[in-house]
Structure 1
């Protein structure tokens, strides 16, 4: 059980390029250059005219026969063509599977709840909720907590990220009584309680005046509201029993009474703390049928 003073981010104009030479040639009052028309023999001229007429006739015939080749497509036509392309490339029988795969890809859900493979392997196969508490560093008392949920395909989806505190001296893998570290690991969450009545938790909830906290924290902050709501972390305790249960299977020297409880504005002896509104959200969200766990430690350790 926590001690009372402890745990508590060229220019275009209408499609025409205007060059300096073109502007000078059309400037009002500019002197006109005299040009002498080139002499062209009549035979060659007739050939050129006939060739031009032939090309024009052929072009007109082509436009009349295939007008879509020479007409700029409208916006509606472009949208319709774009929408039709995926279906044209996909057999009708497999469209349903493609849409399902696209939905999965769009979700881009990870197979681990924001942690490394080593820690992810420690999460029980039946757990479908994981409160991941990631400390800023191994010596920091500041952390972020995120409640992840696992779907039937084994993909994890994060909820909101909540600011949190942990122990004064950060984290360790060999927690001992009074070392002012929070234990790194994966632990089940099986019971809750508090000075206040159950706000709607589906977990076993012990409502008792024994959760009253007194005194001040490490930074002189009052601990008055610290135990209004608590969730017991199954570290060195009997799972499923009241958070007030004094039994310590690993022995008292390994520390006990590690909880998630209401934040009091400073570091703890070993617990994890969230604001009171976030504690209420957590209590309402945790579902015993989802076999919730807490994954806790500094970011470097959790990414292993």
Structure 2
């Protein structure tokens, strides 16, 4: 897969002397305790960190499948999935305020039926849970259906079929909300097309909806605690996801509380 180089308008995932954090690893709200600041620049709307541990959400139960319906996804949510999409990563939390998730990758066969092909994987979302009206610094992950087609990381391409931008600017340090080290969190990332320019490196800091709506929402390597706005998965599963995502399948992520995305 050809490697796409980062553009001049990039902001890496932690602080620099000249820039202020805005995303997955950004400044904390006054109501939250402040961990040590990361050391790299950030294309996100905040710094990853967290509160006390929360119980993992239950693995989705087996259910009778409706033909043409992604398991666990209801008709309202499914209506946001593009007609040409045949690959969907479903990331669900237990409630609107939970920051632990389960992720399952699904694919649609030629007959129109959806099947799980990878997962379930355990991971994290934002410290305060989910929102359908995300703004910068709210410490919540945006809910909805978003395209995922651009990737990158500090480490070499593990075999991705979607464009992959290897860049040292993905380096990050510091500690998260639980005091856990953030180093390596951006070794592998997949950009979620929330308030970003699709078809560019995840490091691109352009925000079509404006900076106040946040941005730089990624899927990245889990560091053992909640994030600022991103979704995080264990390292080995991030590599597996990168190899699985197929641009010809027009992949999307469906993300939010399980009860909400089931509507």
Contact 1:109 / 1:156 at 8 angstroms: preserved in 2? Answer: no
> Deviations along 1:247-280, whole A, 9 cap, x unmatched?
0000000001000000000000000000000000
Conserved in 1, the CA contact under 8 Å of 2:177 and 2:226? yes
1:149 to 107, 112, 116: 107
SS of corresponding position for 1:284:
helix
> Greater helix share, 1 or 2?
1
| Matches for 1:235-274 after TM superposition, within 5 Å | 235-274=194-233
Equivalent residue, structure 2, for 1:124? 82
Which residue, 96, 111, 125 being the options, matches 2:68?
A: 111
Which residue, 133, 152, 167 being the options, matches 1:174?
133
Please say if 1:7 is aligned against 2:29.
no
1:275 maps to 2:234: yes
Unaligned ranges ≥5, structure 2: 1-22, 26-37, 39-45, 50-57, 59-63
Q: Residue 241 of structure 2 aligns to a residue in which SS?
A: helix
Deviation at 1:152, TM superposition (A): 1.4
Distance verdict in 2 for CA 1:302–1:108, change over 3 Å: closer
Question: Aligned partners of 1:216, 1:136: CA distance in 2, in Å?
Answer: 25
Cα offset, 1:2, TM superposition: 3.0
> What does the per-residue CA deviation read over 1:140-161, in whole Å, with 9 as the maximum and x for residues that have no partner?
0011000000111211001221
Return the TM-score normalized by structure 1.
Answer: 0.66
Deviation at 1:6, TM superposition (A): 2.3
Q: 1:108 to 1:167 in 2, by over 3 A?
A: closer
| Distance (Å, rounded) in 2 between the aligned partners of 1:221 and 1:6 | 12
Instruction: Give yes or no for the alignment of 1:136 onto 2:158.
Output: no
Match in the other structure for 1:222: 181
Find the aligned partners of 1:301 and 1:213 in 2 and give their Cα distance. Answer: 33
Deviation string 1:33-88 (CA, Å, 9 cap, x unpaired) is xxxxxxxxxxxxxxxxxxxxxxxxxxxxxxxxxxxxxxxxxxxxxxxxxxxxxxxx
Which runs of 5 or more residues in structure 1 are unaligned?
10-106
- The partner residue of 2:169 within 167, 190, 210 is 210
> Separation in 1 of the partners of 2:47 and 2:255?
19
* Residues 48 and 177 in structure 2, CA contact (< 8 A), matched pair in contact too: no
C-alpha deviation, 1:192, in angstroms: 0.1
- Native 8 Å contact 1:109 1:157 kept in 2: no
Question: Are residues 209 and 302 of structure 1, via their aligned partners in 2, closer, same or farther at CA, if it must alter by over 3 Å?
Answer: same
Cα distance, 1:240 vs. partner? 1.1
Q: C-alpha separation between the residues in 2 aligned to 1:119 and 1:240? A: 24
The higher radius of gyration belongs to 1
Equivalent pairs, count: 207
User: CA separation in 2, counterparts of 1:263 and 1:110?
Assistant: 33
Shift of 1:113: 1.3
Partner of 1:17 in structure 2? none
List structure 1 segments (4+ residues) > 6 angstroms apart after TM superposition: none
Question: Do 1:229 and 1:261's aligned partners in 2 also have CA atoms closer than 8 Å?
Answer: yes
CA distance in 2, matches of 1:139, 1:253: 22
